[in-house]
């Protein structure tokens, strides 16, 4: 009787048959990476394997690494395991990783989102026996409106600010959320970017992702030189001297956490727009159903509640402890990221 | 309710006073008139009575959302607000019928007394037709927990701008016992609503930080004791006798001891004062605990009337023989007050709150230090020329309270907060040493920064010893300085004492559990406060 396809170690998710890790958090010889966010793609691995689309961002962030690219859907044999990468819809280049050993297929979701956003490669369900699923928003109170509805709200907010002579500043994570917004914003005025956002945007632009022209904010760029502008900046830049320099402005966050007034108020986030790169409750449930898996491991989010829910639905469900952020951290640290 | 929901969203989205007033003014100009009346009512704390229990709402909402009850409870724990949890969990509305606020509230009022199935059907139907924010507000109205984060003064200012009626006049017109169900907007604004018992807006003092030296020469000021009772306004008019609390609650019937005053006060007298439980033998107030036994009781048993008789100590006269004298100088109002009260027959439960004489600020400081011996919690300073203004206005009236008592105590239990503080452990039980054991003696849930609460929350999560429902038992390690305003004997508490207004003054990271205070030191404070 063969052992499980994947096991959960203190370094990360491990495949013994292929002697590799998926998104490990400690240095290992061989790492398969789902996507370029820093809690999944960490420094210090002997060799990296990720989608061709994910590599440029990883190289930008991790510097000199030994890395190899793989196409979505391409099958590769590593030791006794067969692996392939499939779109996760989370950010450009993000993947679910499928691992088959001895006829048993397991899939690690990484972070994922089921709604197509017009930029990231769209989520594809991958049939499997066991599914390792994130559940950042694994509570039924999280239910996203369709992206066009939210983008319409953002557009109206931008237009209203512009009419009052104010610059609009959107706080959004610099890789992923920022570019998703850029790709979906209507052409209402100049789009400015914080340096951190611009660097990631340029990497993706060079890869051929369709992104509108943007202007990097420098000391000469203000609301006066670019009236009616919208600015995309990392959340940490909101309410800072950096944003004050732009002149009269309105600031807001774009995050799934904005769906809950209590969380918003606890973090003194003011107003916000609800737009997440993670699946909402219906999305998580639909994704899990679509895999046909009977075993589900949940990680990263409201794990205890979500596992109990899956058990009541007849799944063999477990919790995997990972370093992708626990529940408390998820709120504190990714509150403005998710 | 769309317009009301938009108002709520606009107020929720900003912390800027100007933006809030603009949103309110716009609403008071353009919303349906009946809705405006309800909005004024809600923003002045006049909520419709609760017609559905929280338990019913939870069950109905879980059913409508198609989730098990335990998952509803888990969601509630994260969201921290019942009304919002329900609004987020319900499936999207079928059709957005725009129920008016007026219709929604009248519908709610009709629910009370109906059988559960009828109430459930009505609530489910309302939910199905409302958008997300409207649902949140509807649920808040249902649970009786409606709050909108707008100070009454701000609302009054916006209403003044929308109607052109002068602000303090309007503040007065909005006081009292008018009924939003039967009052039109025009009647309310013109001041024809309500009865002859309408009170004036209370003048509120500001906290004096530091000493009074910054107030200039002491000659222009009068001092009084700051009593720890219930601030009240007594109305004696030809067709009305009423006692109002500061929260505009009619409490006449709770203090039948004061009823005889109706027969003796000149018609058209309005007095601002403090209702106290009175120790006639010692000629001073009983501890607040004695008065507390009477608060919340609609009818008062005879024994309690005898044990804790009420007395009104009068601070000010607002209406003298039907004339509104709030604009006259305080010394003038005070003289008229004393003239009326000295003319009363002896034995009535009403007297002027005595003025505290002082030659200079140093003498007043010494008097203040002895306040607890008088049963007071500090002194009040009022400018001799001051008018009786509406609401809180800095400059003329100051409260100069005694520093709180304080003890060092250790945290024993922690519980998560509600609303804004759900997910954070903010409600703690503290203990002091009693021989070899530690006895719990008080709870406190304010006084720390958000960052400190976040840090303690992580500590509690990592150090939980036992769980009792929402309460976590933790090791007796974290020491806090607990401040409180008063201390009383109590049979209901294990420690035998009860504190008034306990709160955390500081997290004493520098102290260990071996350095906390003892139950004996608390008993010593109790004896001293005697």
Domain boundaries, chain A: 7-142+277-332, 147-273
> Residue B530 pLDDT > 80, yes or no?
no
Nearest neighbour of B423 by CB, restricted to A140, A266, A270: A266
pLDDT computed for residue A326 by the predictor: 33
Nearest neighbour of A328 by CB, restricted to B15, B89, B461: B461
Asked if residue B192 belongs to a domain, the reply is no
**Dihedral, CA of residue B110, residue B111, residue B115 and residue B119, to nearest 10:** 140
* Residues in chain A closer than 8 A to B88 (CB atoms): 140-143, 259-260
B283 compared with B315, residue with greater pLDDT: B315
Same domain, B395 and B440: no
pLDDT computed for residue A329 by the predictor: 33
Asked whether A252 and A171 are in contact (CB, 8 A), the reply is yes
Same domain, B224 and B325: yes
Which DSSP helix (H) or strand (E) runs through A134? strand A130-135
CATH number of the domain encompassing residue B27:
1.10.3260.10
Which residues constitute the domain of residue B10?
Answer: 2-143
| 3 state DSSP class of B175 | coil
Domain count, chain B: 3
Chosen for mutation from B6, B11, B58, B79 (greatest number of chain A CBs closer than 10 Å) is B79
Here the ipTM equals 0.90
* Residues in chain A closer than 8 A to B464 (CB atoms): none
Same domain, B409 and B363: no
Tell me the mean pLDDT in the region B195-213. 89
Angstrom distances, CA of residue A192 to CA of A178, A197, A198, B28: 11, 10, 9, 38
Chosen for mutation from A143, A260, A271, A284 (greatest number of chain B CBs closer than 10 Å) is A260
pLDDT computed for residue B524 by the predictor: 83
B109 vs B48: CA distance, rounded Å: 7
pLDDT band at A269 (very low <50, low <70, confident <90, very high): low
Task: Find the closest chain B residue to A331 by CA distance.
Answer: B423
Same domain, B59 and B97: yes
The class that CATH gives domain A7-142+277-332 is alpha beta
CA-closest candidate to residue B38, choices B96, B119, B129, B109: B109
pLDDT band at A267 (very low <50, low <70, confident <90, very high): low
The shortest C-alpha distance from B79 to chain A (Å) reads 6
Q: CB of B444 within 8 Å of any CB in chain A?
A: no
- pLDDT tens digits, B417-438: 776 666 789 999 999 999 889 9
Asked if residue B157 belongs to a domain, the reply is no
Same domain, B317 and B347: yes
Asked if residue B167 belongs to a domain, the reply is no
Which DSSP helix (H) or strand (E) runs through B76? helix B69-79
Same domain, B238 and B309: yes
Candidate from A321-335, B15-29, B34-48 with smallest mean pLDDT: A321-335
Q: Which of A54-63, B146-155, B176-185, B401-410 has the highest mean pLDDT?
A: A54-63
Tell me the mean pLDDT in the region A199-204. 97
Kindly state the tokens that stand for A260. 């809950």
pLDDT computed for residue B420 by the predictor: 62
Nearest neighbour of B81 by CB, restricted to A139, A262, A271: A262
Asked if residue B150 belongs to a domain, the reply is no
Tell me the mean pLDDT in the region B153-175. 91
pLDDT computed for residue B122 by the predictor: 92
Residue B18, Cβ density class (10 Å: 0-12 exposed, 13-18 middle, ≥19 buried): exposed
pLDDT computed for residue A335 by the predictor: 30
pLDDT band at A162 (very low <50, low <70, confident <90, very high): very high
pLDDT computed for residue B529 by the predictor: 66
Kindly state the tokens that stand for B280. 């006639």
Question: Domain boundary at B385, B401, B417, which?
Answer: B401
> Residue A327 pLDDT > 60, yes or no?
no
Cβ contact A139–B67 (<8 Å): no
> Residue B300 pLDDT > 70, yes or no?
yes
B321 vs B527: CA distance, rounded Å: 46
The average confidence (pLDDT) of chain B is 90
Q: CB of B56 within 8 Å of any CB in chain A?
A: no
Pick the CATH number of A147-273 from 3.40.830.10, 3.40.50.10890, 3.40.50.620, 3.10.580.10: 3.40.50.10890
Cβ contact B84–A262 (<8 Å): yes
Tell me the mean pLDDT in the region A4-31. 95
- pLDDT tens digits, B463-505: 888 888 778 899 999 999 999 988 888 887 888 888 888 999 9
Which residues, listed in sequence order, are joined to residue A230 by a DSSP beta bridge? A168, A191
Kindly state the tokens that stand for A30. 């061989």
Candidate from A259-273, B20-34, B43-57 with smallest mean pLDDT: A259-273
Tell me the mean pLDDT in the region B146-172. 88
Q: What angle do CA A244, A248, A166 make, to 5 degrees?
A: 135
Question: Domain boundary at B143, B159, B194, which?
Answer: B143
pLDDT computed for residue B233 by the predictor: 97
CA-closest candidate to residue A142, choices A8, A321, A277: A277
pTM of the model: 0.75
Asked if residue B191 belongs to a domain, the reply is no
DSSP E strands: which ranges in B262-322?
Answer: 269-279, 284-285, 310-320
Question: Domain boundary at B372, B401, B430, which?
Answer: B401
Nearest neighbour of A261 by CB, restricted to B84, B424, B454: B84
Same domain, B397 and B411: no
- pLDDT tens digits, A112-125: 999 999 999 999 99
> Residue A330 pLDDT > 50, yes or no?
no
Kindly state the tokens that stand for B216. 């200039």
Same domain, B117 and B210: no
Tell me the mean pLDDT in the region B495-516. 88
Candidate from A202-206, B71-75, B414-418 with smallest mean pLDDT: B414-418
Report chain B's C-alpha Rg in angstroms. Answer: 26
Angstrom distances, CA of residue B235 to CA of B194, B199, B272, B339, B416: 14, 7, 9, 17, 43
Chosen for mutation from A138, A141, A145, A256 (greatest number of chain B CBs closer than 10 Å) is A141
pLDDT band at A333 (very low <50, low <70, confident <90, very high): very low
Tell me the mean pLDDT in the region B342-352. 94
Tell me the mean pLDDT in the region A134-162. 95
């Amino acid at each position: 009787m063969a052992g499980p396809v994947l096991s959960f170690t203190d370094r990360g998710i491990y495949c013994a048959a292929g002697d590799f890790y998926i998104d490990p958090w400690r240095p290992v010889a061989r790492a398969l990476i789902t996507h370029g966010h820093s809690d999944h793609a960490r420094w210090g691995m002997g060799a990296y394997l990720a989608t061709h689309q994910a590599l440029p961002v990883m190289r930008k962030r991790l510097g000199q690494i030994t890395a190899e690219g793989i196409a979505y859907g391409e099958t590769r044999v590593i030791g006794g395991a067969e692996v392939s990468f499939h779109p996760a819809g989370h950010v450009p280049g993000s993947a679910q990783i499928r691992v088959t050993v001895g006829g048993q297929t397991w899939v690690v979701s990484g972070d994922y989102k089921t709604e197509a956003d017009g930029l990231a490669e769209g989520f594809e369900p991958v049939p499997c026996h066991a599914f390792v699923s994130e559940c950042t928003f694994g509570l039924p109170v999280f239910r996203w409106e369709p992206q066009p509805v939210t983008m319409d709200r953002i557009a109206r907010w931008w237009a209203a600010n512009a009419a009052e002579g104010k610059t609009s500043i959107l706080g959004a994570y610099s890789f992923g959320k920022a570019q998703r917004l850029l790709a979906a914003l209507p052409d209402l005025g100049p789009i400015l970017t914080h340096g951190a956002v611009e660097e990631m945007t340029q990497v993706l632009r060079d890869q051929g992702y369709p992104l509108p022209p943007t202007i990097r904010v420098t000391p000469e760029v203000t609301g006066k030189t670019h009236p009616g502008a919208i600015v995309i900046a990392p959340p940490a830049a909101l309410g800072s001297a950096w944003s004050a320099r732009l002149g009269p402005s309105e600031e807001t966050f774009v995050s799934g956490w904005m769906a809950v007034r209590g969380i918003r108020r606890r973090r003194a986030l003011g107003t916000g727009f609800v737009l997440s790169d993670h699946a909402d409750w219906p999305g998580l449930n639909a994704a899990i159903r679509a895999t046909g898996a009977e075993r589900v491991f949940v990680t990263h989010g409201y794990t205890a509640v979500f596992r109990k829910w899956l058990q009541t639905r007849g799944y063999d469900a477990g919790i995997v402890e990972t370093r992708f952020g626990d529940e408390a951290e998820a709120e504190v640290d990714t509150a403005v990221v998710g | 309710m769309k317009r009301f929901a938009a108002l709520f969203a606009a107020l929720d989205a900003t912390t800027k006073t100007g933006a809030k007033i603009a949103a309110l003014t716009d609403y008071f100009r353009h919303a349906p008139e009946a809705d405006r009346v309800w909005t004024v009512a809600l923003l002045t704390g006049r909520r419709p009575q609760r017609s559905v229990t929280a338990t019913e709402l939870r069950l109905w909402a879980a059913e409508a959302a198609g989730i098990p009850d335990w998952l509803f409870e888990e969601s509630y724990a994260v969201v921290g607000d019942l009304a919002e949890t329900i609004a987020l969990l319900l499936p999207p509305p079928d059709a957005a019928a725009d129920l008016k606020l007026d219709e929604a509230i009248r519908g709610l009022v009709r629910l009370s007394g109906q059988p559960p199935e009828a109430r459930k059907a009505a609530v489910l139907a309302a939910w199905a037709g409302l958008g997300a924010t409207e649902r949140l507000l509807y649920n808040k109205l249902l649970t009786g927990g409606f709050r909108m984060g707008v100070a009454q003064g701000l609302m009054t200012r916006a209403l003044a701008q929308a109607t052109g009626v002068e602000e303090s006049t309007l503040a007065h017109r909005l006081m009292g016992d008018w009924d939003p169900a039967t009052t039109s907007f025009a009647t309310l604004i013109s001041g024809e609503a309500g009865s002859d018992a309408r009170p004036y807006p209370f003048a509120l003092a500001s906290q004096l930080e530091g000493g009074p030296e910054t107030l200039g020469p002491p000659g222009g000021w009068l001092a009084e004791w700051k009593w720890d009772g219930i601030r009240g306004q007594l109305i004696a008019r030809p067709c009305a006798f009423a006692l109002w609390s500061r929260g505009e609650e009619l409490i006449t019937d709770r203090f039948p001891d004061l009823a005889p005053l109706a027969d003796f006060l000149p018609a058209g007298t309005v007095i601002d004062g403090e209702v106290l439980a009175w120790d006639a033998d010692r000629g001073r107030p009983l501890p607040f605990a004695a008065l507390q036994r009477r608060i919340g009781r609609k009818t008062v048993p005879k024994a309690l009337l005898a044990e804790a008789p009420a007395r009104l100590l009068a601070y000010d006269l607002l209406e003298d023989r039907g004339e509104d004298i709030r604009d006259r100088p305080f010394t003038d109002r005070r003289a008229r007050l004393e003239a009326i009260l000295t003319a009363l027959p002896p034995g009535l439960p009403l007297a002027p709150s005595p003025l505290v004489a002082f030659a200079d600020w140093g003498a007043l400081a010494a008097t203040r230090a002895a306040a607890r011996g008088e049963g007071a919690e500090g002194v009040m300073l009022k400018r001799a020329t001051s008018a009786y203004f509406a609401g809180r206005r800095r400059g003329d009236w100051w409260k100069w309270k005694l520093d709180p008592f304080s003890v060092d105590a250790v945290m024993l239990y922690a519980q998560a907060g509600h609303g804004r503080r759900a997910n954070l452990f903010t409600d703690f039980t503290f203990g002091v040493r009693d021989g070899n054991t530690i006895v719990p003696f008080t709870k406190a849930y304010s006084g720390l920064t958000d960052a400190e609460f976040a840090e303690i929350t992580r500590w509690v999560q990592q150090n939980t010893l036992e769980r009792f429902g929402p309460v976590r038992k933790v090791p007796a390690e974290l020491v806090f300085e607990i401040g409180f305003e008063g201390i009383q004997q109590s049979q209901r508490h294990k420690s035998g004492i009860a504190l008034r207004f306990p709160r955390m003054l500081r997290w004493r990271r520098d102290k260990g559990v071996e350095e906390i205070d003892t139950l004996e030191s608390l008993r010593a404070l109790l004896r001293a406060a005697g």
